[in-house]
Every structure is written in structure tokens, then in C-alpha cells.
Amino acid sequence: MATVSDFDIAVIGGGPGGYSTAIRAAQLGFSTVLVESAELGGVCLNWGCIPTKALLHCAELIADIGSASQFGIEASVDSIDLEAMVRHSRQTAGKLSKGVEFLLRKNKVTHLSGHGSIPEKGKLAVTTSTGEQQEYRVPHIIVATGARLKQLPSLPSDDSRIWDARAAMTATTRPDHLVVIGAGAIGVEFASFYSDIGAQVTLVEAADRVVPTEDPEISERMAKALAKRGIDCRTRTRFASMDAMPDSLTVNVTKSDGSDGAIACDRLLVAVGVDGNIEGMGLEALGLDTDKGSIVTGAYGETNVAGVYAIGDVAGAPWLAHKAVHEGIACIEHIAGMDIKPAGERLIPGCIYARPQIASIGLSEPAAKAAGKKIKVGRFDLTANGKALAAGHSDGLIKTIVDQQTGELLGAHMIGHGVSEQIQGFALAMGAEITTEEFAETVFPHPTISEAMHEAVLDAEGIAVNH
């Protein structure tokens, strides 16, 4: 294996975190190489964030047509072409992946297609699909290899009726009854989509509530919304085993009280979390510290091995593309000697794109109390918002968590139509550390759903006008 050239920076992994890091490195004047073994854009762009949102938009159109009669419009969905929906989803991902390739060329980042590894400190090895191997001298190597969905080891790996997320977003035939194991973001989004296109859906969740990482009040609202749509949510219930027959599947479950149950279905989707992609890169031989499938990092992505860094999903939760981007840019700017805030000190919003959507940032009510904060809680229900009522989207809630002593906004939690597009207002306010008094003095346009954000902050202070 010959050493062929030098680079200042190498990035292994071409997802949002990886390609953003590589581009920023090139902007800062570093000679940069990015190694990706699959499609540019990573799982997020090709098999996660983007294609699922394309499918969910199709489902939203179905729901809108179904509710058109309340606005005096008689319309119906005569047929659903799942294959065409999937084609739209794949084409959307494909366009964006080509866009990443263009951005790398524009910024003079060298893109190598192959498997990257680190045989020793300061060296990058790349194995192409043809088996050709090359080594490069690189003082700074950033691992951005992302994560993959966990699988249940007791399930057969060769049964096409057992889906992971990739199979669920490329299916061309709608299941009659889909069972989803895991009611986190991925599970709830797919449950929402398949319910909207006419499948019977059962959600199985081991925790005591759906979307268990969200504020409990938001989880409760989501559970009610899903149940209203006919989605069967079984919490405090664990997957036990599966019986496969030629024409059907039986999912056996165990409830928290020890009782057993069985659910007949024709497709099973496993959505129980992720593991970092840490294998096959020589990290063990390097002595790199890992913990529960993730690389252990410092404030700027640095590892215990000098010159090796990790950012994004491979460095642990939260597994969000925008978090990966900020971690990567903070990492490379730190390498460049810039004085910047670590990504871990930044507020990171999270969104779930089901129907209804969820968006949140900062501390939940239980987390704030556990941290010893004295808090005030504000709430504003969208049933009191004129724009939401006019649009037929009044099922929702905005909740705020405020520090009782300082007036600082500690957290914001939203459920309702389109809230993923509104959470950034809270992100900006919290990032700027404005107080509830300053928030109250901010003028929100009328009529907008964003007014509910204003009212939720006012309610925490007991001065909401429309509550």
C-alpha cells in the first residue's frame, strides 16, 4: 500500500456532518479529502430525513383532501400510487445527493469513493470498490460515519416482511396491518405515514408513553392524536418473539404487568434506536475510547487519540443532522485556532414530522425540576388561535418552561400542524438569552399561528390576553 499524497484534513463519511465539515475546512484554506463508501449525503439525505419527509408530504395531501369537505370543497382520493410516492421520495434524495457532489467540487474538496480507515495516527487508508488501496498522510482525521438502525437479534434476517426504515420507505405495496416496534421519532413518523395511506397500524413501545423523550404533556397529546386516527398505541409493552407463517406474521409481546399478547400482521417494522458506525476503521487498534457503540469525544470532537476527531451520530446522542453539522464546523474551526463556542453548549431543537408534528428545544418540565430549577409553566392551546381555527389545524399546544427567578426561557415544546417551522423562533430567543419580559415586548403578526408562541410565554407570567 503506497502513500500517495498529503492532506491537511480528512473526513471519513459524507453525511450532513461530514460534507459540511469538509467544505468548511476547505473554506478555511485546508487541503481536504472526504471519503464516502456509499452515496454522498449519508443516511439522512438518502435514507432518512429527506426521503421520509417527501413521503410524509404525500400523506399530508391525502389528509388535506380528506378534510376538504369542512371547507365546502367536495373531493376524494380515488387511488393511492405508493410506487409513485416512493419514486418522488427517491428522486428528491437523488437531486440533493448530486447537489452535495457539486458543493464539494465548488469548494475544491477531494472526494474519494471508498472505505476509509485509520491504520495509525496521521494516516488515512482508502479501499475502493475495486479493492485498490491507497494511504495518505493526514494530521487531522475526522470520523463522521454516522449510525445505523438497531436490529432485534431474535428476528430472522432473510424475511422481507420484517422491515427496517429503508425497506419501509421503498415499499411499493401497502401492508394491510403494520406493527411498528418503537414509538420514538422514526416509529411514529412511519406509523403516521402508513396510517394515512390506509394501513392498520399498531405501535409497540416499551416505555410508559409514546415519543418518550419528549415532555410528558406533549407525549400525551400525541398519543391522543394517534388514537383519534385509529392507530393502536401499546405502551409498557415489549417485543418478545415473532411467529412467521407463509401468509402472515404473529408478533408476541409482553406487557409490564407480565401478561402476554399476540398481534397478527403482515409487516413488522423495527425502529428501536441506533448504533454508531465504529467498526472496520481500525479504531480498536488505535486505542480509541468508545462507549455503547459511540466514540467518546471532548468539547470539540477531539478523542483520546491525538489528531483523531469524531462528530455527528457516531459520537452519540442526539442523533440529529443539524447537530452533526454544528459539531463538525465547531471541530474544524477549533482546529483552525478560532475561538468558538462548542456545539455541545448550543441549543439544539428536535422535530418529529408525524401528523401532528412535534418540535422542542431546551428542558422539559420534569428535566427542569430535576435540575433544581424553580420554574413557571406557560401553555397555549391552538383551539384559541384564530389562524389555526381558520385553517382547520386547531389541535395543538405550545408549552413554555421559564426560570422563576430570572425570567429566562428554559424550554419550549410544541405539538400541532407545521410546528417544525416555528421552533426556530424559540431557538433564536433562547440563544440570545432574552427574558420573558423582552419576549412579551416582541410584536408577532396577526393572524398567525406563531402568535401562540407569544401567548405561551405570556401565560407563564400570568399575563396572556387570549388564554
Task: List the catalytic residues.
Answer: 446
Contact (CB, 8 A) for 324 and 340: no
- 412 assigned binding-site residue: no
- 328 assigned binding-site residue: no
**How far apart are alpha carbons 126 and 2 in whole angstroms?**
11
Q: Which residues, other chains included, contact 184 with Cβ-Cβ below 8 Å and sequence gap of 6+?
A: 211, 212, 213, 271, 273
- 146 assigned binding-site residue: no
- 38 assigned binding-site residue: no
- 187 assigned binding-site residue: yes
- 298 assigned binding-site residue: no
- 196 assigned binding-site residue: no
Q: Which residues, other chains included, contact 188 with Cβ-Cβ below 8 Å and sequence gap of 6+?
A: 203, 210, 211, 222, 226, 352, 354
C-alpha cell at 213: 423523550
- 183 assigned binding-site residue: yes
Q: Which residues, other chains included, contact 99 with Cβ-Cβ below 8 Å and sequence gap of 6+?
A: none
Q: Which residues, other chains included, contact 452 with Cβ-Cβ below 8 Å and sequence gap of 6+?
A: 380, 382, 384, 385, 388, 396, 398
C-alpha cell at 437: 419580559
**How far apart are alpha carbons 404 and 269 in whole angstroms?**
44
**How far apart are alpha carbons 150 and 172 in whole angstroms?**
23
- 199 assigned binding-site residue: no
Residue type, 435: T
- 186 assigned binding-site residue: yes
Indicate if the alpha-carbon torsion angle 405, 407, 412, 417 is positive or negative: positive
C-alpha cell at 323: 447537530
- 118 assigned binding-site residue: no
- C-alpha separations of 337 from 28, 452, 461 in Å: 11, 42, 43
Residues at the binding site are: 53, 116, 182-189, 205, 273, 313
Residues annotated as binding site for NAD(+)? Answer: 182-189, 205, 273
As annotated, the binding site for FAD includes: 53, 116, 313
